[in-house]
Amino acid sequence: MSENRYGLNKELAQMLKGGVIMDVTTPEQARIAEEAGACAVMALERIPADIRSAGGVSRMSDPKMIRGIQNAVSIPVMAKVRIGHFVEAQILEAIEIDYIDESEVLSPADDVYHIDKTRFKVPFVCGARNLGEALRRIAEGASMIRTKGEPGTGDVVQAVSHMRAMNSEISKLVSVRDDEVYEYAKSLAVPVELAQYVHKNGKLPVVNFAAGGVATPADAALMMQLGAEGVFVGSGIFASGNPSKRAAAIVKAVTNYNNPKILAEVSEDLGEAMVGINKDEIEKLNNIRMAERGQ
Amino acid sequence: MVTGILSLQGAFEEHEKVLDELEEPWFEIRNAMDLDREMDGLILPGGESTVQGKLLNDLGMMNTLRERIQSGLPVLGTCAGAILLAEKIYGDSTRHLGTLPAVIRRNAYGRQLGSFSARGDFGEIKDMPMEFIRAPYFEEVYGGTEILSVIGGKTVAVRYGNQIATSFHPELTGDNRVHKYFLESFRLRTPDRVKL
């Protein structure tokens, strides 16, 4: 990937800022999401909550299904590949996807290596639980980062903990002396150039969204107040009682995340939120902790 | 002189940084209450026009902004902002602010693989770097709309009185000449002012 192409890919993520990216499984859901104000959609066959309950191996979606969604909407369309599955990524590039999510929501295809994302022209977003994971993914060519959270749970606690971890590590890196950055980069296992960027600028060199467990307008605003630049909502919308209304409410909550009066208005009468499961229940059920995939 | 920056969604912070560089005051417009503030100029940033258009309606700001622009408020729209301004969107019956006599085509260069960088003239400004991100271009202009930039035979920047629209992103390149042109054209900023 040329430097210019990487720049253009980071810039597309900048255009998504302050927006909500929604998981959709059909062209009809994609249209509902677009009408509700999604700034992009994530095309996948099953939302994370269903992946979680179905178990088994979860893979890239059928390209035909993704193309159906591309044809249904005018906003950017993203899709997921398994961690390390560079051939799934080649297939998505061939159908001109706007963004690839190398995602822990699917079953990992490689338990050591992530995709060398510098070999692709299309942009990649990757999940991270902390600064080390984020900078390693950026070193591999990711042009956008999101928290991992715990997908498909409707429980925001993991996304909060990942965003806080990232912020506190960034503050730490900003505060160290210039000559200590090398050692810090070593301890995080990241390239020193990226550590120096964070040391100097106090932020990641790419856009950083929240993802994994966001289910309500308040959850979305919470992530924004914690420093997220936008929000992914997976199962939270189409596993809820009134998807269209909830989607529109979350979009407004992200725009006015600092305005409790507007947040109160948009939180009214949304019907049932996704029931969700919490992290202790996950351990009892099938013990899949998606966030631990791909470090 | 203070510029309001529409901050519903998209790359509004990038415009804020350019105005900071130029030492010009600005404020964010996130809801109808922000429109009560004194505002001498308006910037409509890049992002997704469907999202911004919907939020303008839902948050009760569309009509007020349209009236302000029609009565002469200077406005700079970049990419999605240009789509908000255009009277007509090619192949689409949607109309947002619809104050700029032109037909604009969304995603005119295709998906993200079609995004590109170029250099070209913007009116009198020569060799301006331009970033096109899933960009639109102007299919047709009419009613006195003036063409400011043409890249590869396509119109990518126009002016109609108090309205300037670009399909590229001048806020992403570190070159602030388009912003200066906007601010100076409408006397929101004194050209070459003496710094004390």
**Beta carbons of A34 and B169 less than 8 Å apart:** no
Residue whose C-alpha is closest to residue A257's, from A231, A237, A279:
A231
In sign, the C-alpha dihedral spanning B128, B129, B132, B133 is: negative
> Is pLDDT of B26 > 70?
yes
Tokens (6 digits) for A176: 């160290």
Domain contains B64 = yes
Question: What pLDDT does residue B195 have?
Answer: 45
**Beta carbons of A19 and B9 less than 8 Å apart:** yes
Arithmetic mean of pLDDT, B151-167? 97
Nearest to B48 among A75, A252, A255 (CB): A75
Tokens (6 digits) for B65: 């902004």
Arithmetic mean of pLDDT, B130-150? 98
Question: What pLDDT does residue A280 have?
Answer: 66
- Domain span holding position B93: 3-189
Under DSSP, is residue B80 helix (H, G, I), strand (E, B) or coil?
Answer: helix
Q: Which one of B79, B96, B131, B179 is the catalytic residue? A: B79
**Beta carbons of A17 and B47 less than 8 Å apart:** yes
> Is pLDDT of B21 > 90?
yes
Arithmetic mean of pLDDT, A18-37? 96
Question: What pLDDT does residue A283 have?
Answer: 62
Residue of A nearest to B9 (CA): A18
Q: What's the CATH code of the domain at B68?
A: 3.40.50.880
Domain contains B49 = yes
Contacts of B172 in chain A (CB under 8 A): 11, 14
Domain contains B132 = yes
Tell me how close the Cα of A6 comes to any Cα of chain B, in angstroms.
Answer: 11
B104-129 per-position pLDDT tens digit: 999 999 999 999 999 999 999 999 99
- The separation between the first and the last C-alpha atoms of chain B, rounded to the nearest angstrom, is 18
How confident is residue A163, by pLDDT bands cut at 50, 70 and 90?
very high
**Beta carbons of B8 and A255 less than 8 Å apart:** yes
CA–CA gap between residue A73 and residue A91 (Å, rounded): 20
Residue whose C-alpha is closest to residue A207's, from A232, A224, A228:
A228
Arithmetic mean of pLDDT, A131-149? 97
Contacts of A15 in chain B (CB under 8 A): 10-11, 46-48, 79-80, 133-134
Q: With beta carbons less than 8 A apart as the criterion, state whether B105 and B115 touch.
A: no
**Beta carbons of B51 and A7 less than 8 Å apart:** no
A9 and chain B in contact, CB less than 8 A: yes
Our answer to whether residue B96 is catalytic in this structure is no
A82-128 per-position pLDDT tens digit: 999 999 999 999 999 999 999 999 999 999 999 999 999 999 999 99
Q: Which of A41-55, A63-77, B60-74 has the lowest mean pLDDT?
A: A41-55
Tally of CA atoms within 13 A in the half-sphere of B82 that contains its CB: 28
- The total of other beta-carbon atoms located within 10 Å of residue A177's CB is 8
> Is pLDDT of B192 > 80?
no
Contacts of A70 in chain B (CB under 8 A): 111
Nearest to B46 among A4, A15, A121 (CB): A15
C-alpha triplet B83, A237, A122: angle, nearest 5°:
55
Q: What is the ipTM of this complex?
A: 0.93
Nearest to A262 among B31, B116, B131 (CB): B31
Scanning A41-80 for CB atoms below 8 A from B yields 70, 74-77
More confident of the two residues A282 and B32? B32
Residue of B nearest to A3 (CA): B117
Arithmetic mean of pLDDT, A72-81? 97
Residue of B nearest to A9 (CA): B112
Q: What are phi and psi of B65, to 5 degrees?
A: -65, -40
Tell me how close the Cα of A11 comes to any Cα of chain B, in angstroms.
Answer: 7
Our answer to whether residue B169 is catalytic in this structure is yes
Burial class (CB in 10 A: 0-12, 13-18, 19+), B153: exposed
Question: What pLDDT does residue B55 have?
Answer: 97
Domain contains B51 = yes
Q: Which one of A80, A117, A148, A252 is the catalytic residue? A: A80
Q: Which one of B16, B87, B171, B179 is the catalytic residue? A: B171
Residue of B nearest to A38 (CA): B51
**Beta carbons of B115 and A7 less than 8 Å apart:** no
Name the pTM for this structure: 0.94
Nearest to B58 among A18, A96, A252 (CB): A252
Domain contains B195 = no
Domain contains B196 = no
Tokens (6 digits) for A242: 């009134």
CA–CA gap between residue B16 and residue A289 (Å, rounded): 40
A225-275 per-position pLDDT tens digit: 999 999 999 888 988 889 999 999 999 999 999 999 999 999 999 988 776
**Beta carbons of A251 and B47 less than 8 Å apart:** no
Nearest to A39 among B47, B110, B117 (CB): B47
Average per-residue pLDDT in chain B?
95
Question: What pLDDT does residue A290 have?
Answer: 84
Residue whose C-alpha is closest to residue B97's, from B153, B160, B189:
B160
Give Rg (Cα) of chain A.
18
User: How many domains is chain B partitioned into structurally?
Assistant: 1
Question: What pLDDT does residue B196 have?
Answer: 44
Domain contains B31 = yes
